[in-house]
Structure 1
Amino acid sequence: MTIAETIRQLYQTGGPVIAVLLLMSVVGLAIILAKSMQFAINRIHRFKEARAAVDLFLSGDREAARAMVSRTRAPAARLTALAIHGLTAAPLDDRRLREELTRVGNDELRALRGGLRPLELIASLAPLLGLLGTVLGMIEAFQAMEREGSGVSPAVLSGGIWQALTTTAVGLGVAIPAVASLSWLESRVERLGQEMDSLVTRLFTQAPASRSTKGR
């Protein structure tokens, strides 16, 4: 059986509810692929250069630290480069610099979280839509039993229940991958946020106290 035939059979079984669930599955898959590509292009998993730059800066080799973070455009490296520049050249005091770094870091994380809300909505609504389809199917099955009267065939009842439960199965089939993917994507963004916070904290707490305090 081809994919088109399977989809046609599912639609005939579950009706509009199945159509909505299939549309949600397509949208969810598109979001997952788009976010995975975005994360890969932005290299949000790359922390090596940023960590090395912090180590170099704390050891006193500021030029090498700048060169290290200039080799990649990963979010952690960009924030580290901004922090190093602020600690060496920018006329901002520590409090204002940390506020600026927090703003930039939050903007980075907000951009990476963009598009995850629809995926969360799909993960939440898919099981409910499946349950709705089941309830509607069960209503139709009992209506068929009422029309048949006392001579209702068990095949009529079992067939109606089977059709009704199909929507629940499809709803769960859409929701489970969505939930798993959402958890994985959010964990990567959370890991990036924790890493950026750790890098900035190291720079402020362990850096030599020789930087200018202009602006205080």
Structure 2
Amino acid sequence: MDAAARNWDLAPKIAKEYSNHPLGNYLYSPLRLVNADPEVFHLALESAADDELALMRRGDKVLEAVIALSPLLGLLGTVLGLITSLSDIQLSDLGTSSTAGVTLGISEALISTAAGLIVAIISLAFYRVFQSLWFNQVRVFRKTGNELELIYRQRWLEEEDYPPANPVNQDFKYDE
């Protein structure tokens, strides 16, 4: 952190080089501000984090929909298959060999439920992996952002204690 504080002028240049990466873009956003108050710097950092983390989650809703809908579609297929299989049965056919096709129709109908569940389970596994990766990114963003903000606040306080000399007003004297 000490090296970063000494090379503060390099920070925006380095962050700009990596602005095509979410973390680089996140760090570059507040560094673009010129002489910003620490609170404005903090708000810019938070806003950039919100934007980048939201972009990382852009596929979540689709995956959530697949997880929720695939078992329902499987059940719908099963119910429709059962209706079709059982609609062909007549009371006079019960107990005869003509009902053998019904069991085949029921087994085919249950395949749609199994397929829906398989899709949902696989999608849920991917969703959990993506969630884990996202939470790790949030942790990295927080840590990096906090360190950058700390360095910025330290520099801000140092500049308040030792303001740069203003060459224009340095030689100005009041006439008494």
The answer to whether the aligner puts 1:200 opposite 2:145 as a matched pair is yes
The equivalent of 1:157 in structure 2 is 102
Amino acid paired to 1:80: L
The equivalent of 1:122 in structure 2 is 66
The equivalent of 1:145 in structure 2 is 89
- Within a 5 Å distance, the mapping from 1:1-216 to structure 2 comes to 56-58=3-5, 60-72=6-18, 73-84=20-31, 86=33, 90-146=34-90, 149-153=93-97, 155-205=100-150, 209-211=154-156, 212=159
RMSD of the alignment, in Å? 2.7
User: Which segments of 5 or more consecutive residues in structure 2 lack a partner in the other structure?
Assistant: 161-176
* Normalised TM-score (structure 1): 0.60
Q: 1:102 to 1:148 in 2, by over 3 A?
A: farther
Amino acid paired to 2:66: I
Q: Distance in 1 between matches of 2:43 and 2:12?
A: 21
Give the share of equivalent positions with the same residue, in percent: 27
**Is the 1:145–1:156 contact (alpha carbons within 8 Å) kept by the matching residues of 2?**
no
1:174-206 deviations in Å (ceiling 9; x for gaps): 223322223333333332222112111122335
1:107-135 deviations in Å (ceiling 9; x for gaps): 12222322331221112101111012112
Larger radius of gyration: 2
Higher RCO structure, 1 or 2 (CA under 8 Å, sep 6+):
1
Q: Distance in 2 between matches of 1:69 and 1:147?
A: 77
Instruction: Compare 167-176 and 77-86 and name the one that shifted more.
Output: 77-86
Residue 146 of structure 1 and its aligned partner are, at CA, apart by 3.5
Q: Distance in 1 between matches of 2:153 and 2:42?
A: 16
Report the secondary structure of 1:128's partner residue: helix
Amino acid paired to 2:119: V
* Normalised TM-score (structure 2): 0.71
User: Which segments of 5 or more consecutive residues in structure 1 lack a partner in the other structure?
Assistant: 1-53
